[in-house]
């Protein structure tokens, strides 16, 4: 199990993508990784299998409301701004 930081994006970068609010923390079925908000560091998803994360979906942090993408997605540096 690893701790991974999601890629933070600005709200106006969300576009037409589906937004999934994880609440304070969403727990998977075990054996996966922990995913932290790229904005505030809150653990958004625990024990989540990376394969269950959808590239097309934007993950919204329940703590700070920030939007994040799956870590494997190539993000353009500076996209936050």
Query: Where does residue 22 rank: exposed (0-12), middle (13-18), buried (19+ CB within 10 A)?
Result: buried
73 in contact with Zn ion (CB under 5 A):
no
In the list 6, 8, 9, 39, the residue contacting Zn ion (rule: CB under 5 A) is 39
24 in contact with Zn ion (CB under 5 A):
no
Distance in Å, CB of 51 to Zn ion, minimum: 23
Query: Where does residue 61 rank: exposed (0-12), middle (13-18), buried (19+ CB within 10 A)?
Result: buried
61 in contact with Zn ion (CB under 5 A):
yes
26 in contact with Zn ion (CB under 5 A):
no
């Amino acid at each position: 199990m690893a701790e991974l930081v999601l890629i933070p994006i600005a709200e106006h970068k969300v576009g037409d993508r589906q937004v999934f609010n994880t609440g304070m923390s969403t727990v998977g079925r075990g054996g996966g990784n922990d995913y932290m908000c790229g904005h505030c560091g809150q653990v958004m998803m625990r024990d989540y299998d990376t394969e269950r994360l959808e590239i097309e979906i934007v993950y919204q942090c329940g703590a700070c409301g920030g939007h994040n993408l799956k870590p494997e997605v190539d993000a353009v540096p500076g996209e936050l701004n």
